[in-house]
Chains A and B, each alone.
Chain A
Amino acid sequence: MTRYYTEDHEWIEVDGDAATVGITDYAQSQLGDIVFAEVPATGATLKKGGDAAVVESVKAASDVYAPVSGTVTEGNDALEGDPALVNSDPEGEGWFFKLTLSDTSELDSLMDAIAYKAFVDGL
């Protein structure tokens, strides 16, 4: 399993052509207290860079983009009742959705953990 990152602060953990997506710890710290998250429906087709989910804090609303193209296999329903999971465990229990990748070569443009850390440090 390999974890990649985007410049929009999503992470994606890939296992073959299956992947899990969420927002990074840096992203949640910038948003502050998360009050709402809307995840995509199972079966939805996502395009790399397109809107995939919504995350809201008290004063800000952000779109979560699809790091790669694919078909959603599961949304994290736990976020509906407990959006604070995104704050407490953004890169674990606070995941947003799982998908099947349609083009694994799209991963090539993403960052690894070291590159992402350098990216965040440069912000």
Chain B
Amino acid sequence: MSALNQSGWKPEMTEECRHDVKTYTGNKALMLEEPLIFEIGNNATTGVDLAESPEVALRLNNLERNRDIGLPGLSEPEAVRHYTRLSRQNYAIDLGFFPLGSCTMKHNPRLNEKVARMAGFADVHPMQPVETVQGALAVINELAVWLIKLTGMHGVAMTPKAGAHGELCGILAIKAALEARGDERRVILVPESAHGTNPASAAFAGFSVENIPATSEGRVNLDALKARLGPDVAGVMITNPNTCGLFERDMKAISDAVHAAGGYVYCDGANFNAIVGRVRPGDLGIDAMHINLHKTFSTPHGGGGPGSGPVVLSEALSPYGPLPFTERHVDGYYTLVEEETAGERHPHSFGRMTAFHGQMGMFTRALAYIMSHGADGLRQVAEDAVLNANYILRSLEDVLDAPFAHSGPCMHEALFSDDGLAEGFSTLDIAKGLIDEGYHPMTVYFPLVVHGAMLVEPTETESKATLDQFIGALRSVAQRAKAGDTSLKSAPHYAPRRRLDETQAARKPVLVWREPEQAVAAE
């Protein structure tokens, strides 16, 4: 008999195989530990090749930097491996279902990445003569037209860099409009369920913020709002669909009442994905609404930005929007309205919000996404997003408390609370249990108006099979929490890290790496 070919041997599963084995490296097969660049790189290593510098007499005003900066370098293979290993410790949409409420984590098409990288967009300078950037200006203008038509509004400010920057833009436009008529209104009304950026933006512009109560249905209390309106109220900031996942049925009535009292209506458009193509905010009397391109129009979240937050404006507020913006002339030629021509073209602008033209790299991606879907596809986006959320709500309301399930269908997100879990178990435990099941948890503890809130936003880019598996997993975790399964208290068990000590991080902040001896000296 010839020697056995052992390459096809059948693994033998003994008891020891099932134990957690401590490895020399700390790695667990594909779960790889990775040191910091400061621990593996050094000042003498570089991953780039550069031409020799010609010898010249320096003109640096004798300010040469002679001391070491402390920037370790890695060769290209080491650098690629370092970041690839880090990347594997992240959850991402590409890996799995990411039902983070209010964040609209939908699939990010790669076509968008491809077009954004075309040299004609990625490699043009913001201050090139306008005749050399006609295609770039066309992208901004085409996207602007889509946003105006999709929202039924009058104008759009494209430069805000993210949603919160857009909120600020809308609030500044309201402030400028009030100033233009010599009106010193100081109060902005914000529902308790609002995103924290709303009151922060209003306060920044010098407004004082007052809360509007909600009804037991989870919607703005129209009567309370009307009662508070008066000559001191500059406007309201309302999220619609709201953060409880409900459409504000009275939106038009709210707008009419606010307008009648001389105020303006700001709409937080974070949840536009639920209604795009089916409802135009302009038809509801909105004066300003930011659109998070990274939510509704699928530009990647990138681990926390960059975002982009264009703001659509009503006819009343458009004259006050920021500089610069693009203008299309009848012959198809594009120009920029900047400080130079603003006096003649846009004299009431409240000014500039950022150095250049906004997030061009996000505009290309969003426009590619919008064109891919078209008017018919975007409507289907909203419908499927709402269908998926209601499917989750109705499939889980028997096992998880759904405080507004009686209020009618939800929009694009389903809201649950921690009511009914075993003593000592909370929303956090459910979230961490979902991590072990291979999911990114839903948004937790937001909105603040619901105790132990869990906000599930599936988006339209998930299949029914994905939803069914998630429903099964969440049901299982919820049942464990109701049964008081203590293993849930220490979850996650299988993630790259266990629960992290946030108290230590905040009490003695370590925000930069220091050499071990320096770190000791700094104590």
Task: Write the residues of chain A forming the contact surface with B, with a CB cutoff of 8 angstroms.
Answer: 33, 35-36, 56, 58-59, 83-84
Q: A58-B506, A83-B507, A84-B507 are in contact. List 12 more A-B contacts (CB 8 A).
A: A33-B503, A33-B507, A35-B503, A35-B506, A35-B507, A36-B506, A36-B507, A56-B506, A58-B502, A58-B503, A59-B445, A59-B502
Question: What residues of B have a CB within 8 angstroms of the CB of A33 in the complex?
Answer: 503, 507
- Closest residue of B by beta carbon distance from A56: B506
The docked-state distance in angstroms from the alpha carbon of A36 to that of B502 is 13
Cα-based distance from A59 to B506 in the complex (angstroms):
10
A123 to chain B, nearest CB (A): 15
Shortest Cβ distance from A82 into chain B, in angstroms? 9
Residues of chain B contacted by A59 (CB below 8 angstroms): 445, 502
Would you call the interface of chain B mostly helix, strand, loop, or mixed? helix
Q: Can you pick out 6 interface pairs between chain A and chain B where the beta carbons lie within 8 Å of each other?
A: A35-B507, A36-B506, A56-B506, A58-B502, A58-B503, A83-B507
**Chain A residues whose CB sits within 8 angstroms of the CB of B507 once the complex forms:** 33, 35-36, 83-84
Q: How far is the CB of B269 from chain A (nearest CB, A)?
A: 27
CB-CB nearest 8 A-B residue pairs: A35-B506, A33-B503, A58-B502, A35-B507, A58-B506, A58-B503, A35-B503, A83-B507
Q: Which of B481-519 contact A (CB under 8 A)?
A: 502-503, 506-507
Q: How far is the CA of A84 from the CA of B502 in the complex (A)?
A: 14
Q: How far is the CA of A100 from the CA of B157 in the complex (A)?
A: 53
Per the CB 8 Å criterion, the residue count for chain B at the interface is 5
B216 CB to closest chain A CB (Å) equals: 22
Contacts of A35 in B (CB 8 A): 503, 506-507
Give the CA-CA distance A114 to B506 in the complex, in Å: 35
How many Å lie between the Cα of A88 and that of B506 in the bound state?
17
Taking CB atoms, residues of chain A closer than 8 Å to B506 are 35-36, 56, 58
B-chain residues with CB within 8 Å of residue A84 when the two chains form the complex: 507
Shortest Cβ distance from B62 into chain A, in angstroms? 40
Q: Which residues of B contact A83 (CB under 8 A)?
A: 507
Contacts of A58 in B (CB 8 A): 502-503, 506
CB of B514 to closest CB in A, whole Å: 19
Least distance between B451 CB and chain A CB atoms (Å): 14
From residue B16, how far is it (CB to closest CB) to chain A in Å?
40
Closest to B506 in A: A35
A36 to B508, CA, bound (A): 10
How distant is the Cα of A19 from the Cα of B502 in the complex, in angstroms? Answer: 34
* Across-interface contacts of A56 in B (CB, < 8 A): 506
The distance from the CB of A45 to the nearest CB of chain B, in whole angstroms, is 23
Min Cβ gap A38→B in Å is 14
Min distance, Cβ A19 to any Cβ of chain B, angstroms: 28
A100 to B130, CA, bound (A): 66
Q: For residue B102, give the distance in angstroms from its CB to the closest CB of chain A.
A: 17
**CA of A58 to CA of B508, assembled, Å:** 12
B503: chain A residues at CB < 8 Å are: 33, 35, 58
How near does chain B come to A52, taking the closest CB pair, in angstroms? 20
Minimum Cβ distance to chain A for residue B420 (Å) = 22
- Write out, one digit per residue, whether chain B residues 170-201 have a CB within 8 A of any chain A CB (1) or not (0): 00000000000000000000000000000000
Interface hits, B433-451 → A, CB 8 Å:
445
What's the least CB distance linking B331 to chain A, in Å? 56
A1 CB → nearest B CB, Å: 32
Complex CA gap A90/B41 in Å reads 46
Name the distance in Å between B156's Cβ and chain A's nearest Cβ: 35
- CA of A120 to CA of B220, assembled, Å: 31
Q: Chain A contacts of B502 at CB under 8 A?
A: 58-59
Please give the distance in Å from A31's CB to the nearest CB on chain B.
11
B308-328: CB near A (< 8 Å → 1, else 0) gives 000000000000000000000
Q: Chain B residues with Cβ under 8 A from A36's Cβ?
A: 506-507
